[in-house]
Structures are given as structure tokens and as C-alpha cells.
Structure 1
Amino acid sequence: MPQTAWSNKRERQYEHIKSGAIKRGTNEKRAEEIAARTVNKERAQHGEARKSTKSLAEDMSPSRRGGLRSHKGSGGRTYQQLYAEASFRNIKGRSSMNKAELEKVLGRH
């Protein structure tokens, strides 16, 4: 899924992330999605993308984070990340939920 807007470096980064996800047992479609989102986030944080959101710009870069927010390590994902996924999934009542409730409803506890 490398895009024409990506540099050679970003294409290599995409392939590296995708192959790593596949080695960990992620199916190919999900691995492509993870890789594309990661590369696009890196591009936005480094000013290579046309648009960027405030929360994206302030968030820790995926390469630095490494695994700090994956699974339950260091408290798991942030409230903003959980809320964004709940919003994407169109979960009702998400605005009144706290972090633990969002984790539970998203099935990530």
C-alpha cells in the first residue's frame, strides 16, 4: 500500500513495519493498516503531510514509543486514543465513559 506521496525512506519504513507485524502473527490486511497508519503519523509529525491534528502533533512518535503504550505496558493506550477508536467504531455513550470503561467496551482489558 505504499503511496506516491511517500519518499523511499517511508516506503522502506512501511515494508519493515508490515513484515514485523506479519512475523508477530498479524494477518496481512491488518499489518498493512498498522504500517500505513504508522508511516502517515510519522509523516504528519515531521511536517511531510498536508494536514495534521493537534493531538497527533503532541503525541509521542511511534518509533520513540516503541511499546510503552501497547497492551497494558505503562498504563496502556491513552484516553484520547481509546476515545478516538470508540468514535471510529461509533460506540454510543463514549463521551461519558472514563478510560477503564472505554477499555472494557472496546474489548481491550
Structure 2
Amino acid sequence: MTQGDKSTYTDKQKRQAEHIEKSEKARGASTRTAERIAWATVNKQDGGGKKSGSGRKHDTKH
């Protein structure tokens, strides 16, 4: 996967990023900044793209 490739994200994660990006643009952020903030937020919430394997849902950090 190349840098910037969003193919490993779920549809839900992509929708979340679109919504966040739209909100950031409404607050006056540039398109590039809004996109960067949106994907950084999705990554922070979900830890990145799709994860496979058993036991991936268990988060040991609280």
C-alpha cells in the first residue's frame, strides 16, 4: 500500500472522514488541511484501516 492509499479503510471510516472534512471546511480550513485532519481523526479513533485476524478488537489500553 502506498502512502495516501485509502483502499484499506472501511466504508464507515471513509464516511466518517468525509463528514469530518466537510465540518473542517465549514470552519474555514483549506481543502488540504481539512482532509489531513479528517484522516488523522479517523486513524486516532480506529487505529487505521481494516484489521484482520482474531482478537483484533481487544484493546489492552484503557
What's the TM-score bracket when you normalise by the shorter of the two chains?
0.5 to 0.7
Unmatched segments (≥5 aa) in structure 1: 50-56, 59-109
Unmatched segments (≥5 aa) in structure 2: 52-60
Higher share in helix:
1
Q: Whose Rg is larger?
A: 1
Alpha carbons 1:22, 1:28 under 8 Å: kept: yes
Q: How does 1:63-102 map to 2 (within 5 A)?
A: none
Residues 33-92 of structure 1: per-residue CA shift (max 9 Å, x gap): 0001001111119xx56xxxxxxx56xxxxxxxxxxxxxxxxxxxxxxxxxxxxxxxxxx
Identity %, equivalent residues = 33
User: Which runs of 4 or more aligned residues in structure 1 lie more than 2 Å from their structure 2 counterparts after TM superposition?
Assistant: none
Aligned length: 50
- Return the TM-score normalized by structure 2: 0.67
* Greater relative contact order (Cα < 8 A, sep 6+): 2
